[in-house]
Amino acid sequence: MSEQLWRKNLINITPYVAGEQPKSDKIIKLNANENAYPPSPRVREILEGYRCEDMRRYPSADAGPLREALAKRAGLSIDNVFVSNGSDDVLATAFRAFFNSDKPIVYPDITYSFYPVWCDLLKIPGRTVPVGEDFHIDAQSLYGEGNGGVVFANPNAPTSLAENREFVRNVLEHNRDCIVIVDQTYVDFADKGIDCLDLIKEYDNLVVTHTFSKSRSMAGMRLGVAYASSELIGYMMAVKDSYNSYPVNRLSIETGVASVQDEEYFQSTLKKIISTREKVSGQLRELGFEVLDSQTNFLFVTHPKYSAKDIFEYLRDNGIYIRYFNKPRIDDRLRITIGTDDEMAQMISQIKAFMGK
Ligand SMILES: *Cc1c(COP(=O)(O)O)cnc(C)c1O
C-alpha cells in the first residue's frame, strides 16, 4: 500500500534553538543576550499613550519613518536601509535575495547557529571554516572564488571577539563576485574601530545587519535592520513584498523611531553595560576563569578546573540562567550575558558557592 507517501515530501529541518525563557520572574536571566535595562523612556511614552483605534489601519508598507530615522543617524539615504521582524528575518531575507548560486555560502564553524539553519531551510549549500585556537576568525579562510556568499558575525557570537575593519576590508577585497553579509548585532558594545557601516559606500556587495534586540533593549518588538547599496536593498524589499508586505507593525515603527532619536539614553545604557562587563571579566579572571576579551554584552568563559556543564547546572538550580552549548570545540565554555551590577554580583556569589569559596 502506498500509505502516507506524502511523508517523504514533508520538510526535514533542524530548527535553531533559542535560550530558555523561564516562566518565573525570580530567575536571573543571563542566557539570551537581552539588555539588562529598559528601552528609552520615549518608547514607554509611546506605549502608554497609544491610541488603540490606530490599530485598525495597516502600518506603513515600507516602514518609511523608521528607515528615515535610521538613515539619518547613519548619514545614509533611506534607500540604503531595510527593516524587518528582528535581524533573524532580515538575515533570512538576505539569504533568499542574495544566495541563489550552486556555490557554497561560507561561514565560521563557531558563530551564530542560525546561519546553517537558513542554508538548510532554503536548500543552499553551506561550508564552515574553522576559527583559530584563539577563537579569532582567519580572514583568509573566507577568501575564495568558489564562494557563493559569505556571512559572519562581527563581533562574533558566542565568542564575544571582534575583528577590525581591515579584516572586513580584506574579506571584501577577496570576495568581489559574491555578497558578503556582516552581522553587526553587537557592534554598539564594541570599540569604535569595529563598525564597518561606512564600507557600504565603497563596496556594493556588502550588507551590514543590526538589531534593536540587544543594544536597544527591544527584543520583544522584533526589529532588525540591513544597510547596503540601494540596489541590494531593492532586492531585499522585493523578496519581502513577495511573501509579507507589512512585516513591521505600527508599534514597532513608532517605538523604533523613538529609540533611534534618543541617542543620549542609548549611549548611557551602553556605557553601563560595558563598565559592568569589564568589572565582571576581572572578577571571573580572579576566580581562575579564562575570559575572552569581550566586545559584546556577554562573556565567553572557561575554567581549567571545573566543568562548564556542572557550573551551568548549579547556577540553573539556583535560579540563574546562563548558556551552555553542548557542541564540539565549545562544550567546555559558558556564555554569560551582562546583566545589572546587582544580577552579576549574585551570579559571582553563586559561582563562588559552587567552588566552595
Ligand atoms: C541575537 C542575534 C541575532 C538576532 O537578533 P534578532 O534581531 O532578535 O532576531 C542575530 N545575530 C546574532 C549574532 C545574534 O546574537
- pTM summary value: 0.95
Q: Is the CB of 224 under 6 A from ligand 1?
A: yes
Same fold for the pair 28-37+264-355 and 41-261: no
What was the pLDDT predicted at 9?
A: 77
Q: State in Å: Cα 83 to ligand 1 middle.
A: 14
- Rounded (to 5) percent helix, strand, coil in the chain: 45, 15, 45
**Pocket-testing residue among 17, 35, 112, ligand 1, by greatest number of atoms within 8 A of Cβ:** 112
Nearest atom of ligand 1 to the alpha carbon of 223: 7
Q: How far is CA 98 from CA 16, 114, 149, 224, 300, in A?
A: 21, 17, 8, 18, 32
Residue with the smallest CA separation from ligand 1 atom 5 is 87
Q: What backbone torsions phi and psi does residue 22 show, to the nearest 5 degrees?
A: -65, 150
Q: Is the CB of 92 under 6 A from ligand 1?
A: no
CATH number (3.40.50.300, 3.90.1150.10, 3.40.640.10, 3.90.1200.10) of 28-37+264-355 reads 3.90.1150.10
Domain 41-261 listed as CATH 3.20.20.120: no
Question: Does residue 329 carry a pLDDT above 90?
Answer: yes
Question: Does residue 56 carry a pLDDT above 70?
Answer: yes
Over its C-alpha atoms, the chain yields an Rg (Å, rounded) of 21
Kindly report, residue by residue over 70-82, the tens digit of the pLDDT.
999 999 999 999 9
Domain ranges of the chain: 28-37+264-355, 41-261
Cβ proximity of 185 and 210 under 8 Å: yes
274-280 long-range Cβ contacts below 8 angstroms, 24+ apart: 274/189, 276/36, 276/338, 276/339, 276/340, 276/341, 276/344, 277/189, 277/338, 279/341, 279/344, 280/336, 280/338, 280/344, 280/347, 280/348
Q: Is the CB of 185 under 6 A from ligand 1?
A: yes
Residue with the smallest CA separation from ligand 1 atom 11 is 185
Kindly report, residue by residue over 275-300, the tens digit of the pLDDT.
999 999 999 999 999 999 999 999 99
What was the pLDDT predicted at 167?
A: 97
Q: State in Å: Cα 297 to ligand 1 middle.
A: 12
Question: Does residue 34 carry a pLDDT above 70?
Answer: yes
What was the pLDDT predicted at 22?
A: 73
Nearest atom of ligand 1 to the alpha carbon of 212: 7
**How many residues are recorded in the chain?**
357
Q: State in Å: Cα 202 to ligand 1 middle.
A: 25
Q: Is the CB of 34 under 6 A from ligand 1?
A: no
Nearest atom of ligand 1 to the alpha carbon of 157: 13
Q: What backbone torsions phi and psi does residue 285 show, to the nearest 5 degrees?
A: -65, -40
